[in-house]
Amino acid sequence: MTRPTIHTIVTSALMALLTAGTLTHPVSTPAAEPEIKEGTLHLVSGTLLRLDLLNGRGLLRTDLGRPIYFEVPKAYLFENVIVGARIALRLDDEGRAVRVMDTAIADVVITPDQPLAATAPEDP
């Protein structure tokens, strides 16, 4: 049976320390997307005026006439959206579209068929 030399013991100990250090500290990659915090999202709605999927940019005009420029990081979000449509966007702090929702005016404004006074029951 052979005895381990001091060189072998030191090398094994250093390798164990290096391996333990790499396992406890994950390596961050620049390709990883940053997590989006729910509190940093903004909801805007209006009419889509411009949509350039090749350059990843768009323009929305709110009901008050304010232009909202935004970035399109994922083109598939706008697959079923056309220019002129009324939409709602969820944007992060850097102006990137995170979610796109189609809105219809009929969903927002509900007109009653009868006046409220006519539908109220009468007291006996």
Q: Say what percent of the chain tops pLDDT 70.
A: 52
Choose the weakest-confidence range: 28-32, 52-56, 97-101, 107-111: 28-32
Q: Where are the domains of the chain?
A: 40-108
CA-CA distances (angstroms) from residue 61 to 43, 66, 68, 111?
13, 6, 6, 25
The two structure tokens encoding residue 62:
């709110």
Q: Considering only 34-48, 85-99, 106-120, which range has the smallest mean pLDDT?
A: 106-120
Cβ–Cβ under 8 Å, residues 15 and 58: no
User: Does CATH number 2.40.50.140 belong to domain 40-108?
Assistant: yes
Q: Which pTM was predicted? A: 0.53
Task: Check residues 28 and 98 and name the one with the higher pLDDT.
Answer: 98
User: In angstroms, how far is CA 41 from the centroid of its own chain?
Assistant: 8
CA 106 to chain centre: 26
Kindly state the average pLDDT of the residues 28-49: 67
Amino acid at 21: G
